[in-house]
Amino acid sequence: MNQDVIITCAVTGAGDTADKSPHVPVTPKEIADAAIEAWNAGAAIAHMHVRDPETKQGSRRVDLYAEVCERIREADCDVIINLTAGMGGDLFIGPDENPTAFAEGTDLVGAMERLVHIEELKPEICTLDCGSLNFGNSNMVYVSTPEMLRKGAQRIKELGVTVELEIFDTGNLWFALQMMKEGLLDDTAMFQLCHGIPWGAPPDLGIMKGMVDMLPQGSQFTSFALGRNQLPFTAQSVLMGGHVRVGLEDNLYLGKGELATNGQLVERSVNIVENMGARVLSPAEAREKLRLRGTQ
């Protein structure tokens, strides 16, 4: 069991959730306010996507990321900023008779273009999605090839940004470990074990334990699951030696029929962690534990 727990709040994703709950932040101000709310509730890390304020869909615009970061720092909030670098991998295959006629919604760019905002803003942490995935029940494939991953990992390392490796299935973890062997990742790399995303790893404790057993000794990892499994996985992750991720990117509800805010989800996870006898770390303590830039 992990006695010193870091809570990450994933305050808004890129999925089609903004019209499903009034609490999902969309504008840069709303996203920054959500990160500050999560910090006040006990989160040490805010993981953030940005959305186009007009369409509410996920975006790669650097100016939106910059505004979010600026608003957080202007508020004298020391939450650790963790920006996604996963946008730009969405490929919607065309109809069966013409699969290369890629459909509306496709946003597929190379490894370096996915990192433009990371180059510009140099957050303390950014993500790297460690493999391709059939995403949902349509013709969407999330594309992250070995060549893309090697290029992205090398550049993130050069920038001095700590990488959070998004692990959607066991093969993703296998390849992340391969990148470590090749020297493309620092030993400060973090692992995010993602469960319940169709069709990656299911929210199954046996599979979770199998992935935890594959991790290098001493690795820092977090595990989370989507929807109603989010809060139960808070406890499971801590019991297996990991940290915690909650937030509206992954789950909209505090209980059956009860829409949550990011702050409420963090508060509930703080309660779970502390009732297990563990301690929730502050941003300063989390920086030390994760050996982030300037603390190593």
pLDDT in tens, 96-139: 999 999 999 999 999 999 999 999 999 999 999 999 999 988 99
SS3 assignment for 89-119: EEEECCCCCCCCCCCCCCEECCCCHHHHHHH
Lowest mean pLDDT among 23-27, 132-136, 292-296: 292-296
Q: What is the C-alpha to C-alpha distance for residues 81 and 123, in angstroms, rounded to an integer? A: 6
Q: Where are the domains of the chain?
A: 4-290
Best CA proximity match to 112, nearest among 160, 146, 78, 148: 148
Prediction pTM value: 0.96
pLDDT in tens, 201-260: 999 999 999 999 999 999 999 999 999 999 999 999 999 999 999 999 999 999 999 999
Give, in words, the CATH class of 4-290. alpha beta
Q: Between the CA atoms of 156, 157, 158 and 161, what dihedral angle is there, to the nearest 10 degrees?
A: 60
Q: Is the pLDDT of residue 15 over 80?
A: yes
